[in-house]
Homo-oligomer: A and B are copies of this chain.
Amino acid sequence: MPKKIHKILGVEFGTASSNTRYGSRDDSLVVKLPKEAKLSGKFTSNKLRAAPVKLAIKNLLKLSKENKILLINAGNANAATGPNGLKDVQSYCDQIAKESFIKKENIIPFSTGVIGEPLPVKSYLNAFRAAMAVTHSKSWKKAASAILTTDTKPKIVSKELKVGKTSYYVTGFAKGSGMIRPDFATLLSFVFIDADISQTSLNKIHKDALIESFETITVDGDTSPNDSSLLATNGNPNKKINKGSSTEKRLSKIITEVFKELSEFLIEDAEGASKKITVQINQAKNLAQAKSVAFTVAESPLVKTAMFGSDANWGRILSAVGRDKLITEIDKVAIKLNNQPLVRNGFIDPRYSEKLASKEMKKKDININISLGLGKRTFKVMTSDLSEDYVLINSDYRS
């Protein structure tokens, strides 16, 4: 949790419980945004798109200059629910729009939870109504907690950019701990900016931030039908930022930092994870090769179980490199683990020390550095280890 969570003027959060899957725990979140707000949404690449994702994409194209409302629920993904699923999300969105006197397209829905079960519309609608009545600009922690499923804790990042006497704030939260892999990764992420930025810049900043954050993490290679990232400005007229200005560039960097830290939180809290593993590829022929090798190593069950067992099993890492489809030769491969030399020229580095490598493996933070010796491109992926707990959590999720 950050020391200070900066409020975003005009943005308010209300939570309540639908009293369904999670008992009386708050599982429904309402976010109110001012009429000046601009929104940028990016969604899952999975062809199985959840009903709320379909509606969100549609509505985001038709926003009007009125207040906007995000409706987010945990516990039911409303995915693979067919035409009825679409009717369901449409019905509770329309109802909240009507009761809030705004255009129905200004309601943007998000869902996370079990796939394929009909969403209990009445229960969530009641929760959204209750949440609407208690919104507050300070309820970040409640908001970040209400959207969780298998996560063990809320994930919030808040940053400030000072330019002269003006402070620009960026605060966001995210959830997701399995089913995480680009393009892109997290189940749900919401980041808010206290500034007025153009829609074009907002979209570009969002895209750039994703490339360096959620698109570089993987837990199990599985994506979800509900993956969504929302980046919104409040359109604060006192904090107008000109397109292409140096302030915009600096703010863009801060926003990317917020996304990156949220990504790290997701990996640290990945299902059953006991370690955070960074796979850094260097000297690749091109970006495609660097990415491909990074994900092959990061998603190899044999590498991930070795990490869980604190085993500096460089043979499995090298073997995963060797089976990557875009790898042409492995004779120049060098591998380091937290700066301990493991592999040189495609086989064991003469300086390798089992004792020192094992010592590094005891740490929670593992950096696997792989130099391919084929070119100059680099790419970095973050992942978690594969533990017994991952299996337990996922073999028992619906029960």
Which stretch of A28-36, A88-96, A131-139, A319-327 is in the interface? Answer: A319-327
Given the known A-B contacts A222-B300, A347-B80, A388-B388, are A395 and B319 also in contact in the complex, defined by CB atoms under 8 Å? no
Within the assembled complex, what's the spacing in Å between the Cα atoms of A116 and B314? 8
Contact B47 A330 (CB under 8 A): yes
Assess whether B305 is in contact with A48, with CB atoms less than 8 Å apart: no
B322 touches A48 (CB 8 A): yes
Chain B residues with Cβ below 8 Å from A388 are 388, 391-392
A186 nearest CB across to chain B (Å): 15
On whether the beta carbons of B225 and A305 are closer than 8 Å, the reply is: no
A390→B225 CA distance, assembly (Å): 28
Look across to chain B and name the residue whose beta carbon is closest to the beta carbon of A329.
B47
User: Contact: B346 with A315, CB < 8 Å?
Assistant: no
Contact status A85-B48, CB under 8 Å: no
Q: How far is the CA of A66 from the CA of B217 in the complex (A)?
A: 56
Interface residues on A, range: 35 or more
Q: Is A220 part of the binding interface, using a Cβ–Cβ cutoff of 8 Å?
A: yes
Contact yes or no, B322 A225, CB < 8 A: yes
Could you tell me which residues of chain A, from 355 to 399, have a CB within 8 Å of some CB in chain B? 386-388, 390-392, 394-399
Selected from B323, B346, B391, the residue in CB contact (under 8 A) with A45 is: B323
Tell me which residues across on chain B come within 8 A of A394, comparing CB atoms.
301-302, 305-306, 309
Do residues B224 and A319 form an inter-chain contact, with CB atoms below 8 A? yes
Q: Would you call A220 and B347 a contact (CB within 8 A)?
A: no
Copies of the protein in its oligomer: 2
- Inter-subunit contact A395/B306 (CB<8 Å): yes
CB closest residue in chain B, given A310: B395
- The interface residues of chain A, by DSSP majority, are classed as loop
A221 within 8 A of B: yes
Are A48 and B81 within 8 A (Cβ)?
no
Given contacts A302-B178, A390-B305, contact A320 B222 (CB under 8 A): yes
- Establish whether residues B114 and A315, one from each chain, have CB atoms under 8 Å apart when the complex forms: yes
Q: Is A237 an interface residue (CB 8 A)?
A: no
Complex alpha-carbon distance, A45 and B223, angstroms: 28
Query: What B residues does A302 contact at CB under 8 A?
Result: 178-179, 220, 222, 394
Contact of A327 among B47, B82, B309, B396 (CB under 8 A): B47
**Contact of A396 with B309 in the complex, beta carbons under 8 Å:** yes
Does A395 contact B308, Cβ atoms closer than 8 Å? yes
Asked whether A48 and B220 contact (CB < 8 A) given A301-B394, A391-B305, the answer is no
Does the CB pair B348–A82 fall under 8 Å?
yes
Is B322 in contact with A47, judged by CB distance below 8 angstroms?
yes
In the complex the two chains form, is A346's CB within 8 Å of B82's CB? yes
A212 in contact (CB, < 8 A): no
CB contacts (< 8 Å) of A396 on chain B: these are: 309, 311
Determine the distance from Cα of A395 to Cα of B306 in the docked complex, in whole angstroms. 5
Please indicate the chain B residues that have their CB under 8 angstroms from the CB of A49 in the complex.
Answer: 322
Some 30 contacts from A to B, beta carbons below 8 A apart, are: A46-B323, A47-B322, A49-B322, A77-B315, A79-B315, A79-B319, A80-B346, A80-B348, A82-B348, A116-B314, A116-B315, A116-B348, A178-B302, A179-B319, A220-B300, A221-B300, A222-B300, A222-B316, A222-B319, A223-B322, A225-B319, A301-B394, A305-B394, A306-B397, A309-B395, A311-B397, A313-B397, A386-B391, A388-B391, A390-B391
Taking A82-B345, A85-B347, A306-B397 as given, write out 10 further A-B residue pairs in contact, using a Cβ cutoff of 8 Å, ordered by the A residue number.
A48-B321, A80-B315, A80-B343, A222-B320, A309-B399, A311-B396, A311-B397, A313-B397, A386-B391, A391-B391
**Across chains A and B, which 4 residue pairs bring their CB atoms closest together, nearest first?**
A115-B315, A309-B395, A48-B322, A82-B347
